[in-house]
């Protein structure tokens, strides 16, 4: 993989949901503490900066209206998986988030998905939390499991998208979704936090990527790997300064965004963006 290829920006299309009703009212991951108050106005400003940053890089950003009573709907990445116009709907593990799946599928249907001549929409029969655990890597799909997504989703992914699936087991509850421990940066290049995976999964990643950037503890612990890359620019939490320097040294252009308020629910830039392929 040459640096020239690595630095090629690819225009993307994203779906985001404003955090109008964002709150931490329950605890379904180790980051969430209902006793730690949320500043909704600050969360909105951080989200708006993320959206504006993605748009400034030339990407298309759509928004889905938030639904009252769904405080985690801001984490759009969990809403579905969209590849080549086909959609696999999410099926959330926890009851508090389960209504989000219908809201996202409704938006996708209203915007042409599942219509005649468009890609199919499939409602998952097993637990899966969308792009939180499902990552498209060109010729294959990576599927994280261990906390929030069922390992058997691999069969659904292959049936719908016609691509092989590599399963990765997550073993640290702080990194409960694959997108908290792995960021695909460009063809053949990814950043990851090795302790979040079991031995077999680390071997799988080593065999798939020509270059793996290992995040340090202090950067992983601020969800620095919950990043959005377009092949050249990498938007990540600004608190992950060490990882930003590693990315710059590898030829990427890191762009730090303060997502500290969304971090109170275990979220970052990637959690807030669902890519529409």
In the CATH hierarchy, which top-level class contains the domain 3-275? alpha beta
> Which residue, among 231, 234, 223, has the nearest Cα to 267 in the 3D structure?
223
Give me the pLDDT at residue 133, please.
Answer: 98
177 is catalytic: yes
Q: Cα–Cα distance between 135 and 81 in angstroms, integer?
A: 9
Whether pLDDT at 90 is above 90: yes
Taking a C-beta distance cutoff of 8 angstroms, is the pair 264, 36 a contact? yes
**Of 17, 59, 145, 177, catalytic:** 177
**Of 17, 145, 271, 272, catalytic:** 271
> Where would I find the beta strands (DSSP E) of the chain?
13-16, 60-63, 80-83, 86-89, 121-122, 134-137, 140-145, 165-169, 182-186, 189-192, 211-214, 228-229, 233-237, 253-257, 274-275
How would you class 21 by CB atoms within 10 Å of its CB: exposed for 0-12, middle for 13-18, buried for 19 or more?
A: middle
Give me the pLDDT at residue 11, please.
Answer: 97
Helix (H), strand (E) counts: the chain: 8, 15
> Which residue, among 174, 158, 190, 274, has the nearest Cα to 166 in the 3D structure?
158
Report residue 120: phi and psi, to 5°: -75, 155
Q: What is the dihedral of CA 21, 23, 29, 35, to 10 degrees?
A: -170
Q: Would you kindly state where each structural domain of the chain is located, as residue ranges?
A: 3-275
Taking a C-beta distance cutoff of 8 angstroms, is the pair 108, 132 a contact? no
Give me the pLDDT at residue 5, please.
Answer: 45
59 is catalytic: no
Q: Which of 97-106, 113-122, 137-146 has the lowest mean pLDDT?
A: 113-122
Q: Which residue has the higher pLDDT, 117 or 162?
A: 162
Say which residue the tokens 């275990």 belong to.
266
Whether pLDDT at 3 is above 60: no
Q: Which two tokens stand for residue 154?
A: 């691999």
Give me the pLDDT at residue 119, please.
Answer: 84
> pLDDT category, 4, cuts 50, 70, 90?
very low
Compute and round to an integer the Cα radius of gyration of the chain.
17
pLDDT in tens, 16-62: 999 999 999 999 999 999 999 999 999 999 999 999 999 999 999 99
Question: In which element (H, E) is residue 11 found?
Answer: none
Start-to-end C-alpha separation, the chain: 23
> Which residue, among 240, 263, 276, has the nearest Cα to 77 in the 3D structure?
276
């Amino acid at each position: 993989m040459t640096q020239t290829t690595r630095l090629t920006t690819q225009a993307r299309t994203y779906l985001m949901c404003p955090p109008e009703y964002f709150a931490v009212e329950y605890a379904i991951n180790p980051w969430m503490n209902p006793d730690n108050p949320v500043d909704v106005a600050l969360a909105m400003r951080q989200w708006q900066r993320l959206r504006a940053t993605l748009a400034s890089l030339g990407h298309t950003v759509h928004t889905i209206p938030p639904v009252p009573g769904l405080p985690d709907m801001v984490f759009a990445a969990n809403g579905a998986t969209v590849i080549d116009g086909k959609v696999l709907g999410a099926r959330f593990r926890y009851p508090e988030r389960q209504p989000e799946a219908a809201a996202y599928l409704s938006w996708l249907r209203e915007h042409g998905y599942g219509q005649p001549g468009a890609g199919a929409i499939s409602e998952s029969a097993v637990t899966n939390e969308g792009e939180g655990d499902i990552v498209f890597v060109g010729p294959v799909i990576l599927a994280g499991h261990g906390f929030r997504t069922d390992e058997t989703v691999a069969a659904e992914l292959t049936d719908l998208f016609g691509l092989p699936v590599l399963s990765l087991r997550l073993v640290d509850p702080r990194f409960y979704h694959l997108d908290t421990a792995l960021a695909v940066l460009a063809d053949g290049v990814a950043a990851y936090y090795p302790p979040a995976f079991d031995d077999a999964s680390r071997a799988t990643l080593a065999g798939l990527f020509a270059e793996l950037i290992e995040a340090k503890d202090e950067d992983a612990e601020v969800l620095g790997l919950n990043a959005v890359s377009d092949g050249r620019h990498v938007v990540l939490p600004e608190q992950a300064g060490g990882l930003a320097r590693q990315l710059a040294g590898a030829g990427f252009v890191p762009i730090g965004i303060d997502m500290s308020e969304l971090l109170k629910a275990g979220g970052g830039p990637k959690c807030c963006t669902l890519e529409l392929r």
